[in-house]
Amino acid sequence: MSWRKSLAAASLVLLGLASGASAQTGTLEQVRQRGTLQCGVSMGLYGFSFQQNGKWAGFDVDFCRAVAAAVLGNADRVSFLPLSASERFEALKSGRIDILSRNSTWTLQREAELGLIFAGVLFHDGQGFMVRKNANITSALELGGKKVCVQAGTTSQNVARDYFAANAMTVELKVFPDAAATLAGFTKGECEAMTTDNSGLFAERLKLEKPGDAVILPDIISKEPLGPVTRADDMRWHMIVKWVAFALINAEELGVSTKTLTAAAQSNKPDVRRLIGAEGGLGKMLGLSDDWARRAIEGVGNYAELYERNVGTGSRLGIPRGLNQLWSEGGILFAPPLR
C-alpha cells in the first residue's frame, strides 16, 4: 500500500468516525436508542392534549403518535411531558423533549431568538367572535355599536381594537380579568359578543348551559398558526417531523385513510404508491423505512381523521374545518407533494 493510499484510507476512517459521532448524537438516533419519542404537550387542553382515563389524547398528542409510528413503527412508543407555557421552549432547547406539540404559535421571535424551528402549520387558529344565536348576527362587521367581552391583558384585546378601528366601527370593549369572568359577562348579557382565539371560543361554548344558543362567527381576524416545533440544530430530525405532517395532509388529499389503507396497497396511482412506500424510496431519503407514512396513517389516521376525531365532528368541540380544510376544498391547508 502506497503512502498515498494509506493516507486516503486513514482520512476515510476519520471521516467515517466524524459522521458516525454526529449521527450518534442526532435526535433520530437518540429516539431509536431510547425506543420512545419524548413529546412535550400542554398541561391539559381539551381536544388538543389532555388526559382521558389515564391516557393522553388529542390533536397534538396524536401528531406525536404519528411521528413515533413513522420513526419507531409503533404509535404507542411515546412518553408525554406536560409543560406550562413558560417552560415549553426551554424543555425543547435543553433536550428533555424531541418534539414540542403544544398549541404553540409560529412566530419570528421563537425561531430567530430561541433557536427553534416550526415544522409547519397543523392548525390555523385565529381570533373569532361568539354571539347569541337569536341575535341573528352573521358577520363580525355587524358588531358596530355593540359591546364585546374580552379578557384583560391579552393580545385579543389589541387585535379586536385594531380590527374595529380598521373597519371604522364603534365597538365598546368590556374587559374582564380572566376567561371565566369573560364568559360570565357574555352569559349575563353584558355584551353582545365575546372574543378570543377560535379554538378557545368552541371550548368556552361547551361551558354554556345550552351551547346551541350561541354561535361562533366564521370571521377570523388574526393569524395564530399552530404547529410542532423542533430544535434548529438538527435539520435531519426537523425534516422527518415536517414530512410526517405533510404526509398526513397528502394522505387526506389522496383519499388514503385507516379505512382505505388495504385498498391503497393495491392502488396503481403513483402518488398513492409513493405515499404508502410501494415505490419511490422516500422513506430511505429521510433515513426511515419506506413504510414510514403508511405506519403513521395506520397509527392515527390521515389529517381529516385526526382533526374530526379530536376537535371536529367526532369531538364535543365540533370546530368546523374552516381555514383547516384542504386548499382544494375551501380552506388553506396545503402540503408540498411527496415525490
Binding site for other proteins (CB under 8 A): 46-47, 52, 57, 138-139, 210-212, 215-218, 220, 253-256, 259-260, 263-264, 267, 269, 272, 305, 308-310, 312-316, 318, 320-323, 325, 329-332
Nearer to other proteins, 35 or 314 (CB): 314
* Cα(206)–Cα(212) distance, integer angstroms: 9
Nearer to other proteins, 73 or 318 (CB): 318
Provide the 3-class DSSP secondary structure of residue 231: strand
Nearer to other proteins, 234 or 252 (CB): 252
Q: With DSSP H G I counted as helix, E B as strand and the rest as coil, what are the percentages for the chain, rounded to 5?
A: 45, 15, 35
**Shortest distance, position 75 Cβ to other proteins, whole Å:** 13
Closest CA to 288 of 234, 236, 228, 229: 236
* Cα(79)–Cα(97) distance, integer angstroms: 9
Nearer to other proteins, 55 or 96 (CB): 55
**Shortest distance, position 25 Cβ to other proteins, whole Å:** 37
**Shortest distance, position 53 Cβ to other proteins, whole Å:** 10
Nearer to other proteins, 34 or 316 (CB): 316
Nearer to other proteins, 34 or 259 (CB): 259
**Shortest distance, position 76 Cβ to other proteins, whole Å:** 14
- Cβ neighbours of residue 71 closer than 8 Å, sequence gap 6 or more: 28, 31, 32, 37, 240, 288, 292
Helices 27-34, 3-25: inter-axial angle, 10-degree rounding: 70
**Shortest distance, position 80 Cβ to other proteins, whole Å:** 16
Chain-centre distance of CA 285, in angstroms?
A: 24
Q: Which residues pair with 194 in a beta bridge?
A: 130, 149
**Shortest distance, position 71 Cβ to other proteins, whole Å:** 23
